[in-house]
Amino acid sequence: MASTPKKNLLDDQAMKNLLHNATPAHLIDLVAEAREDKARAEAAEKFLMEALKARLEDPQGKRTPMTDTNKMKFDGKSYAGERYIMTFTASYQSRIDTATLRSKYPDAAEECSKDVSMIQARFTKKEPKQ
């Protein structure tokens, strides 16, 4: 089932030549295609991780699926594939409950708020020419 690893596209001389001569229109298409590939890859990864979590086994070979209630028991555990080793690592985040902050301390919430400017590129597929 193992395949050869994919090389980094940007290390490829053909890609460097393409970028050197690429028009903006061609680069738009390449970026849009890369985003489509990324979306497909992320969906596949999510699906495959769910399948993997359902098939995990303990050291005695007993199937022990990972669930929301037992996931922290997998912290530090490693599993080997044909080409990769996967290790689960717990991480913790502390987040501010903005709804509570705004209801209990509206002045502080307003004072600590910050507007951020962003620009995004959105891509839509053109209709094929007939």
* Mean per-residue pLDDT, 68-93: 91
Contact 121, 31 (CB under 8 A): yes
**Is position 44 within any domain?**
yes
Q: How far apart are CA 100 and CA 120, in angstroms?
A: 30
Domain range for 75 is 12-110
**Is position 76 within any domain?**
yes
What total number of domains does the chain contain? 1
Which of the four pLDDT bands, split at 50, 70 and 90, describes residue 65?
A: very high
**Is position 1 within any domain?**
no
pLDDT digit string (tens) for 34-62?
999 999 999 999 999 999 999 998 888 89
**Is position 2 within any domain?**
no
Residue 1 scores a pLDDT above 70? no
